[in-house]
A = this chain, B = another copy of it.
Amino acid sequence: MTKQEQLPTLVTHVELMIEARWVVPVDSSNNLHEFYTVVIHHQVIVDVLPTAQARIRYTATESVVLDDHVLIPGLINAHTHAAMTLMRGIADDQPLMIWLNNHIWPAERAIVTERYVEDASLLASAEMLSGGTTCFNDMYFYPQATAAAASKAGIRAHLGLTVLEFPTNYAADADDYLQKGFEAHDSWRSNPLISSSLAPHAPYTISNQTFEKVLTYAEQLGLGIHTHLHETRDEISQSEASYGVRPIQRVADIGLLGPGFIAAHGVHLMPHEIDMLAEYGCHVAHCPASNLKLGSGIAPISALLKNNVNVCIGTDGAASNNRLDMFSEMRLAALLSKGVTEDASVLPAHQALKMVTINAARAIGLENKVGSIEIGKQADLVAVKLSDFSISPCYDPVSHLVYSCGREHVTHTWVAGELRYSHGTYANIEPVELKEIIQTWQPKLRQYKH
């Protein structure tokens, strides 16, 4: 159903119409529409047009009127470990290696089971939906448990088939991780909300041989690759000591770099490494809060953007952020790039908004399906109320979204045309379920607290 086909005189009946004061489609023209309506049928955006015209051309089973709101594409969290939500704040203010060795890894060894991952991922899904996130790119153990939680919550998830060399509760060795990953991948093939990537954890936890296997499987299955890369200086010096090259050169030599490759973090990058990322069409998932909080450093986002590297934004896990909040992450990314370059015009608001929507969709290979409000795309949509006194007045809804708003101003979150969150209530999650999850796991995890 296209706009043209409806033009003559027909009135079309659809499932859902959302009339908004403003619509920011995040399309290639940086449009900002006033008094616009998004028309949705069978989960898909079928029209985007002035409200005055929409009222003539369409009738709808359900109409939502958003007088003080801006309607934007659902936000996409480009790098997270959703199931770490129950470890939120378990070891704050700790240097990275103490954080990992004394707190996070012991907790994971003792606690992480399929049940844990499903419970923690449900809490994470609830947090993300309430903050306007409609899709997340994840990497963790037991991805089928995260798929189950995301499906229940009704949030879209791009799940890494995680690979490590060392044994965990989840798998024994790299082949076992891969095997379990493929079983998970097969399990969600018919689930429209779930898609997969191959997720070798990081250069310091993956051998060359395993990277080669990952590459082979990625090519055979048509999957992207999601890995931590150049997060810390230690990672780089370890690689130089062990392999004689920096990690990005090592993965390039193996052949991993390409348009399906997402480098999470990318904090420490030399100019020729930025060129490599650009040449191969790789994506960088910038995690500014986590990089600051763990003392990793500040990624050279302005240089990446100048070189046309596709940059998207992730929260990382709740143990190193401690919010799965794409609003505060977007704001931080914009502010940080201006401050580091000492140029206020760097990373303007519309570019920041792209990084949390269409750029992320492109990174996870879903740019034809989500990431903007355009005809034919899935109706992953978020309404943000701009009239609260604490953010008034509003002169420009786009810069307001980035610099003034917080996730608390999200009033509605739709995924595939279904309202999943609105005004404190979830369509498919009861508060008592989340309370029970917290009451079950917090006492077990408390002993690993700093």
Q: Are A90 and B348 in contact (CB under 8 A)?
A: no
Interface presence of A340 (CB below 8 A):
yes
Q: Are B298 and A404 in contact (CB under 8 A)?
A: no
Report the stretch among A43-51, A92-100, A275-283 that lies at the interface: A92-100
When each residue 188-218 of chain A gets 1 if its CB lies under 8 Å from chain B and 0 otherwise, what string results?
0000000000000000000000000000000
Known A-B contacts A92-B399, A322-B403; A127 and B295 likewise in contact (beta carbons under 8 Å): no
Known A-B contacts A322-B403, A390-B131, A408-B406; A335 and B89 likewise in contact (beta carbons under 8 Å): no
Contacts of A323 in B (CB 8 A): 390-391, 403-404, 406
Q: Are B342 and A297 in contact (CB under 8 A)?
A: yes
Q: How many angstroms between the C-alpha atoms of A404 and B332 in the bound complex? A: 15
Smallest CB separation, A292 vs chain B (Å):
3
Q: How many angstroms between the C-alpha atoms of A402 and B123 in the bound complex? A: 21
Interface centre among A295, A332, A346 (most CB of B within 10 A): A295
Q: Are A406 and B404 in contact (CB under 8 A)?
A: no
Interface presence of A33 (CB below 8 A):
no
Smallest CB separation, A153 vs chain B (Å):
12
Q: How many angstroms between the C-alpha atoms of A403 and B293 in the bound complex? A: 9
Interface residues on A, range: 35 or more
Interface presence of A446 (CB below 8 A):
yes
Smallest CB separation, A51 vs chain B (Å):
22
Contacts of A62 in B (CB 8 A): none
Q: How many angstroms between the C-alpha atoms of A233 and B393 in the bound complex? A: 31
Q: Are B293 and A390 in contact (CB under 8 A)?
A: no
Interface presence of A252 (CB below 8 A):
no
Q: How many angstroms between the C-alpha atoms of A123 and B349 in the bound complex? A: 24
> Contact partner of A338 among B292, B342, B392, B442, CB < 8 A?
B292
Q: Are A395 and B295 in contact (CB under 8 A)?
A: no
A404-445, CB < 8 A from B: 404, 406-408, 431, 434, 438, 441-442, 445
Smallest CB separation, A140 vs chain B (Å):
18
Interface presence of A394 (CB below 8 A):
yes
Interface presence of A383 (CB below 8 A):
no
Q: Are B344 and A88 in contact (CB under 8 A)?
A: no
Name the residue of chain B whose CB is nearest to the CB of A450.
B396
Q: Are A349 and B88 in contact (CB under 8 A)?
A: no
Report 19 cross-chain contacts, Cβ distance below 8 Å, ordered by A residue. Answer: A88-B395, A89-B399, A92-B402, A93-B348, A94-B344, A95-B344, A127-B390, A289-B335, A292-B335, A292-B338, A297-B339, A298-B340, A322-B404, A323-B406, A328-B331, A389-B431, A406-B407, A406-B408, A408-B408
Residues of chain A having any CB pair with chain B under 8 Å: 86, 88-90, 92-96, 99, 123, 126-127, 130-131, 233, 289, 291-298, 321-323, 325, 328, 331-332, 335-336, 338-346, 348-349, 389-396, 399-400, 402-404, 406-408, 431, 434, 438, 441-442, 445-446, 449-450
